[in-house]
Each structure stands twice: as C-alpha cells, then as structure tokens.
Amino acid sequence: MPAYLTPKSKFLVLGRAGMDFYADPPGAEAEHATRFTTALGGSSGNIAAGLARHGLSVSLLTCVSDDSVGRFVLNQLKAYGVATDHVRVLSGESRTSLAVTETRIENTQNTLYRNNASDLLMSEDQVLAVPYADFEALIVTGTALAANPSREAALRAMEHARRVGALVVIDLDYRPYSWPSAHEAAEVYRAAIESSDFVVGNDDEFAVVANGAHEDGRNLAASLGSSEKTIIYKLGERGSVVFSGDEPFETGIFKVEAIKPMGAGDAFMASLMASLAAEFSLKEAVLRGSAAAAMVVSKFGCAPAMPTPAELDAFLSNHSAPQS
C-alpha cells in the first residue's frame, strides 16, 4: 500500500456528478410525492463531497451542461468545498444527469435521466490539460468508461496520473444500462485495472470483469491482489474481502436501520481514502469506510449524509466492530 498519502494529500476524482430529486416526505413513492428535495448526486460527485467533508483538498474532473441543472451541480460542489477548475461546461444539447429517487428501502424506484449525458463527453484534450503532478491520488468511477469520448479520456488520465507517481484508484461501478454489452465492459475494465493501483468492486462486478461466475470474479480479485495491487472485493451484507499481498482479510458491515439503499459505495470509497490519507492502516481504513457506508444509508441523501471525521469517530465509539 503506498505510504505517501497524508492529511495534506490532494485528490482528483473523475466521473459523473448530477442532481438528485428525492421524493418528500421520506418514505413517499415518487408518483405520490407532494414535493421533492434536491441534493448533489452522481457517484463521483458524492465521493468528492465525502472527501471534502474530511477536510481534504479535492477537485472534480467532469463535464456538465450549460443550464440550470449544470449550474446547480457547480454550486453544490463549491458549497462542499470541491474545486471545479477541471469541470468543463458544455453548450449544446447534452444534459447533466438527473435522478428522481426515493428515501425508502423496499421497492425503491430510482429513475435516472442520462440521455446524451454531458459527463460522457469528457474529451482527451480536457484530461491532458490537468496538472497531474499536483495530485497524490486519482479516483475514477467506472461509469466514465462506458462510452467514448469519456472512455479514452479516462484511460489517458489514469496513465498520466500513474506516470507522475499518483495513486490510481478505480471503483468499478458497473451499470449495465450504460454499456453496449458485458463483454465490452470486461475488456475495458481489464485495461483500466491494468493502470490502477487500487481496485474496489462488488462480487457481481468482478464476475463481469472475469467474464464468468462469482467464483471466477473472486479468483480474479485474489490473483490481482497477489500482485502489487490492492483489491477490495465487496459482498454486500456479508461485508468485504481485501486482497493485498499474501494475507487477505475480511471485514463485516455495521448493522443500522437503513432508510434507503443508495450511497453506501460512494461513502465507503470516500472514507476509505480519507482514512488512508489520515495514516490509518488498511484494515482500519476499510472498517471506517464500512462505518461511513452504514451512516449514509441511515440518513437522507447521499452527498448530504457523508460524515465528517468527528461524526465517523462518534459512530465508531457507539457501535461495535462488525464480525465478518
């Protein structure tokens, strides 16, 4: 595990940020809601907000549309303390992602509008203009790999970040509806993993990358972890397995009363990376990531629910470590 992440580390997060519409009051179905509450959304937007809540320096690399939704996203990012120097505003007919979702556990409806998505129009010239030497880590979410020109741009960004010695992290974040086929996704993910130091994904996602069943995905994760990469293989309610060197270890989940299923993965990634930057061990960082995931699913919104270090410490002091 690279030892150069510190509390002064600067993070660059690449991928989608959008606007979330939550049916209000909590528990309401969207079609029966009397009002909606807005929040920053999108996997990369949430991760960036989570890192900023930890007091870290973080910038987002993406595109948004030149309209009210795009401006909402920019305003929200700035409010969280996320730098937007590398966010390109696009004129024309592309649109920033908009999600209409619900705060409830059973039969949750999440309607995502991503027609001609602005973030998938990120170009190679945009990523080449980034001063990668200014960052200690690049975090890429897999939705950025789903289509060109964003796919090639993201792969170039990973190459440039690794060349200057930054830690390159990928959250597989596989969304089948974004890809032409699982086979194409597997090929692209394998190329991205080759350029990464740290890979986070669930059992379904690793199975896709392995072009096989869950057992094939786990075997792939283990083999990658036996190299110089760190692999976090998530198992939902069964916790996660970390493959890093010769001794894999398991971590369970914290039991909480969840009010929604979304945001756990983004919270896990943000607090995992923030904890490593705070010089916690890998085991401690994974545990803190798991705690953040539990906190976010038990609160309203995703970005608004991202914990500060003090909130995370308070949660950990009141909850026993989960059993794997």
Spell out a b/e string for 57-88, using b for 16 or more CB atoms within 10 Å of the CB, else e.
Answer: bbbbbbbbbeeebbebbbebbeebebbbebbb
pLDDT in tens, 210-257: 999 999 999 999 999 998 899 999 999 899 999 998 789 999 999 999
The DSSP symbol for 256 reads -
**For residue 1, pLDDT beyond 80:** no
Q: What is the mean pLDDT of the chain?
A: 95
Residue 322, pLDDT score: 81
pLDDT in tens, 25-42: 899 999 999 999 999 999
Helix (H) or strand (E) holding 50: helix 43-53
Separation CA 254–CA 256 (nearest Å)? 6
Q: pTM of this prediction?
A: 0.97
**For residue 137, pLDDT beyond 90:** yes
**For residue 48, pLDDT beyond 90:** yes
Q: Which CATH superfamily is domain 12-318 in?
A: Ribokinase (3.40.1190.20)
Structure tokens at 130: 């980034």
Structure tokens at 1: 């595990």
Beta strands at 240-243 and 230-234: parallel, antiparallel or unpaired: antiparallel
**For residue 324, pLDDT beyond 80:** no
Q: In the predicted model, what is the mean pLDDT of residues 272-298? A: 97
Separation CA 209–CA 217 (nearest Å)? 7
Separation CA 188–CA 194 (nearest Å)? 10
